[in-house]
Amino acid sequence: MERGKDMSPIESEHNYSFKKQFEYIAAMNPFFEYASDRLQRTVMFVDLWRQHGNEFFKDFENGQPPVLSFKYEVIMDGRTFDKPVNYALTKIVERRKVSKRASSKLYVNKKREQRKNENGVIGLASSEEGGKRPVIIIDPRSGNAPGIAGSKKNSEIGIAIQSGLPVYYIIFFPEPEKDQTLEDVKNAEIKFIEEVKKLHPDAPKPAVIGNSQAGWALALLNAEEPDLAGPMILNGAPISYWAGKQGKHVMRYRTAIMGGSWLVSLLSDLGNGLFDGAYLVSGYEAVDPCNTFLRKPYKLFINIDRNHKSYLKFERWWSSYYMMTEEEIIFIADKLFIENSLEKGELGFEGGKKIDLKDLRDPVVVFASGADNITPPQQALNWITKVWESVDEIKNQNQTIVYMVHDNIRHMGIFISDKIAVKEHKGIIQSVDKLGYLAPGLYEMVIEKDKPGDIRSEHAIRFESRNFDDILSMADSTDDELDFYPAVAVSAWNKSFYEQFLRPFVRSFINKQNSSFIKMHNPQRVFRYIFSDMNPYMVFFKISGNIFLKNRFKASRENPYVLFEEKLTDLAGEYMDFQREWRDIFQENIFRQIYGNPFLRFFFKGRDDMDKKITENNFDRLMEKNEQFKGGFPEAAIRIMMAVAAVDNVFHEKEIETIINICTSNTRLQNLDPEKIRALIQEQSGILNYDSEGAIESLPFLIKTREERIEAIGMAKKIASSDLEVSSEENQLITKLMDIFELKD
C-alpha cells in the first residue's frame, strides 16, 4: 500500500493527542477498539484489491508481459518461424529487478541495434560464460503468463544465476498464432534448444527445467529427440494423470464426471476458436475453496499493515489470463487428462511415431510434494513404474532417475517459496553436473542440514537407491485406474455428439464481437473491474485507505472480539473443509458408480498392463563378452570408485565431488572427456550390478602393476573418507580390494 508523506509537527502533535484519546477509550471499551480497527482494515483491504485491479488493467494495456524480476533479451521469436507460434527464447542478462514499464518494453521487442537473421535470432550469448552448462527454464502455459520461475530473487532463475550458469527462459505471448498446434510448439522448442547449443558449443548439453504443465511437454520432447538436451528436471509436473490416492486426489475425476472434453470444445467455441485461461484459473481455485475464499483473504486482512509488494506481484501473475487455441486445449484434455496417452506410450502427432518415455537417455530429476493437490506425487512419479518393468530395466538401459518428495509444500509453493528455492531448487540445480557420475538406477534425493562442524556447504545432499515399491507405496493399488478406460470411450462419444449436433448451432451465433464480450465478462475479470478505478465508488476507498494508513488504530491481539473473530474464522474454515471433503467424496463415488459399473467395464475393458517395448539386456551382453576382464586402468578405476560409492546404496554429494576431482586431476583419467567418463560409469556399473563379486575379483586382470594398484586403492580411500567418516561397508570393501591386489597396510 502506498505510503503518505511525512506529517508536519503540528499534524504529528494533533495525531498523537488523537491517538492517546483513542487508546483511552479503547481501554475502556474493547468493542470500540475492535470495531475501529476492523473498519480501517476493511477499507485498507478493499483499497489493496483496488490497487491490484488497476495493475490488472495496466498490464492488459501493456500487452500482459511476463512477471519477471530479471532483465532479458529475446534470442529467437517463434512468431517469425515458417509455422509461427506465440513462443520466444530469451536470455536472462542480469539479476537486478526492473520496473514493470521496462519489462513491458522488453516484452514488446523494443528496437535494438542487433541484426536479425533469417532464423529470427536477435540476441547473442555472452562469450564470458565459457564452458558452463546452460539452463533452459520453461514455465507452464496453463492459463497464466510466464514468470513464475523468476518472480523474485529467490527463484529458479535467481538460483541458477547465483550458481554462475547461463540461463535461458522460454516465454510465450497472450494470444496464440492462427492455427497454432502443440506440434508446432514442440518443433519451436526444439529450435530453441538447438540455438542454445549453438551459442554454447564448448558446454555440455543444456539442462532443461519444466515446471508444472510444462513438464509433460518437456518429457514428450526429450523422448522424441533423446540426444537434443541434457538432464531433464520436472518440478510439480504431472505425467500419470490417472494416478492418485482414493478419497484424496479427486481432481483426476472431474473431466470424466463432466462427460469428457466436450465442455472444453464448447468453451472454445464460445471463445471463437480460443480457450480462455481464466477458466483454468477458476478450476484451480475450486480445488480448495476454503483457501481461495477464506484463508488466503483473511491472512491478507490480518496482515494488512505489512508491505504487500509480493501479494500484488503474485496476483498480477495469477490474473494474467492467457489464451490457447482449441486444438491445443483439446489435445491436452483428450490425450493427457482423459486418455493418459503419454504414460502409456500411445501419444503421437500426425504422421509421426508414438512417443515412448523409455527413449529418454539423459538423467531425469522429478520434484514433487506430498501436500500438492494439483500434481500429487503419484501423478509426478507413477509413470516411472509404468514405463519400465523394474529398476533393473532402468539400470539395463543406463538410465538415471532421481526424485525428491517434499512433505508439506503446496503446488504453488514449489515455484514461489523462498525456502524451497534456496534449498530444493538450489540443491537440484547445483547437482545437475553430478548426475552423470551416478551409477544408473532409481534414487531419492535427500537434502538435509550438514553435519555440525562441516563448513563446506549449508546442506548435505545424498542420493539413496530406491525401488518401485517406494514409489507405489505412496498410493493405493493402481487397480482403480481401470475405471478410466470406460471414461475414455464415453468422452469420445460425448465429444462426437457435441461436434455433430450442438457445435453448428453454437458457432452460428458466435463471432469476434460477442466472443470478446463473453471473455471480458468472465467472473475472474469482472471481479477486477469492480475493484479498480473503473468503478467510481472505489474513490472512497482510495482516499479513506490513505487516511487510515496514516492514522492506524490497531486492536490488541488479546482483544476478546479479535480472539472471537479468529475462532469464528477457524470454525468457518473447518466447515468449508468439511464441505470440500464431502464434495470430493461425492464426486469420487459418482465417478466409481458410473465408470466402475460392470456393464461399462464389460464393453470398455482396460488393460492391466500396457504394452512395453522389450529392451536388450545389456547386462547379459556385457557378461557374455567377458567385459569384466577387458580394459585397463581407467575401467578398473571407475569400477572401484563406483563400487565404493555405492556399497551402502547411497551416493553422497561429497563422494560424487571426489569422483569428479579424481577424474579431472588424475594423469591417467584427465584426458577422458565427460562423455567417455559417463560411458565408463554406465558400463562398469552394469558389470557391478550383474555380478558384484565377479566384478571385484576380476580387477587384477585390469590393473597389473603394484604402482597402479596402490594408486587405485588411494582413490577408494579418498571416496570412502570424503563424507568425513568411513562406514563399515566401505572399510570391508577396501580391505577386500587390498587382499585381491595383494597389498598390505
**In the predicted model, is pLDDT for residue 716 greater than 80?**
yes
- Strand-pairing partners, residue 323, are 276
**In the predicted model, is pLDDT for residue 308 greater than 90?**
no
Measured distance CA(137)–CA(131) in Å, rounded: 19
DSSP 641-696: HHHHHTTTSEEEHHHHHHHHHHHHH-TTTTTS-HHHHHHHHHHHHHHHHH-HHHHH
Residue entry with cell 463473453: 518
Cα-Cα-Cα-Cα torsion 40, 42, 47, 52, nearest 10 degrees, comes to: 140
The per-residue pLDDT of the chain, averaged, comes to 88
Fold of the 71-139+146-250+325-480 domain: Rossmann fold (3.40.50)
Weakest mean pLDDT among 267-281, 425-439, 475-489? 475-489
Residue 570 Cα to chain centre, angstroms: 31
When mean pLDDT is compared over 186-195, 629-638, 726-735, the highest value belongs to 186-195
Measured distance CA(5)–CA(11) in Å, rounded: 12
Give the list of residues 6+ apart from residue 677 with CB closer than 8 angstroms, or none.
436, 437, 638, 663, 669
pLDDT in tens, 42-95: 999 999 999 999 999 999 999 999 999 999 999 999 999 999 999 999 999 975
Ramachandran class of 595: left when φ > 0, alpha when ψ lies in -120 to 50, beta otherwise: alpha
Per cent of the chain over pLDDT 90 is 75
**In the predicted model, is pLDDT for residue 16 greater than 90?**
no
Decide: 544 and 43 in contact? Cβ < 8 Å.
yes
Identify the pLDDT of residue 550.
83
Average pLDDT over residues 259-281: 97
Give the list of residues 6+ apart from residue 431 with CB closer than 8 angstroms, or none.
365, 445, 461, 653
Alpha-helical segments (H) within 457-537: 468-472, 484-497, 503-508, 512-520, 523-530
- Strand-pairing partners, residue 366, are 234, 403
Average pLDDT over residues 12-31: 65
pLDDT in tens, 440-487: 999 999 998 755 555 445 789 999 999 999 999 998 777 788 899 999
Identify the pLDDT of residue 110.
38
HSE-up (13 A, CA, CB side) for residue 271: 25
Helix, strand and coil in the chain, % to nearest 5: 55, 10, 35
Identify the pLDDT of residue 128.
54
Residue 123: band (very low, low, confident or very high) from pLDDT cuts 50, 70, 90: very low
**In the predicted model, is pLDDT for residue 291 greater than 80?**
yes
The more confidently predicted of residues 307 and 203 is: 203
DSSP 415-467: HH-HHHIIIIIHHHHHHGGGGGGSPSEEEEEEEEEPPTT--S-SEEEEEEE--
What distances in angstroms separate CA 387 from CA 302, 356, 357, 401, 690, one per listed residue?
48, 8, 7, 12, 22
**In the predicted model, is pLDDT for residue 433 greater than 90?**
yes
Residue 108: band (very low, low, confident or very high) from pLDDT cuts 50, 70, 90: very low
Identify the pLDDT of residue 99.
42
Q: Which three cell numbers stand for residue 249?
A: 486426489
Measured distance CA(687)–CA(649) in Å, rounded: 16
Backbone angles phi, psi at 210, to 5 degrees: -115, 120
Average pLDDT over residues 318-327: 96
pLDDT in tens, 145-157: 999 999 888 999 9
Q: Which three cell numbers stand for residue 234?
A: 520436472
pLDDT in tens, 614-634: 455 555 555 555 677 888 999
Residue 115: band (very low, low, confident or very high) from pLDDT cuts 50, 70, 90: very low
Average pLDDT over residues 508-516: 96
Measured distance CA(276)–CA(267) in Å, rounded: 8
Residue-range domain boundaries for the chain: 71-139+146-250+325-480, 618-740
At residue 298's C-alpha, the angle toward residues 211 and 525, to 5°, is: 60
Weakest mean pLDDT among 119-128, 302-311, 570-579? 119-128
The more confidently predicted of residues 306 and 232 is: 232
Q: Which three cell numbers stand for residue 189?
A: 522448442
Cα-trace Rg, the chain: 29
Measured distance CA(632)–CA(703) in Å, rounded: 6
Measured distance CA(681)–CA(500) in Å, rounded: 57
Pairing verdict, β 232-235 and 207-211: parallel
Domains 71-139+146-250+325-480 and 618-740 agree in fold: no
**In the predicted model, is pLDDT for residue 513 greater than 90?**
yes
Decide: 740 and 696 in contact? Cβ < 8 Å.
yes
**In the predicted model, is pLDDT for residue 412 greater than 50?**
yes
- 515-525 burial, b for 16+ CB within 10 Å, e for fewer? beeebeebebb
CATH number of 618-740: 1.10.3680
HSE-up (13 A, CA, CB side) for residue 535: 19
Measured distance CA(554)–CA(666) in Å, rounded: 68
pLDDT in tens, 375-410: 999 999 999 999 999 999 999 999 999 999 999 999
Identify the pLDDT of residue 630.
86
pLDDT in tens, 565-607: 999 999 999 999 999 999 999 999 999 999 988 887 777 765 5
Identify the pLDDT of residue 125.
47
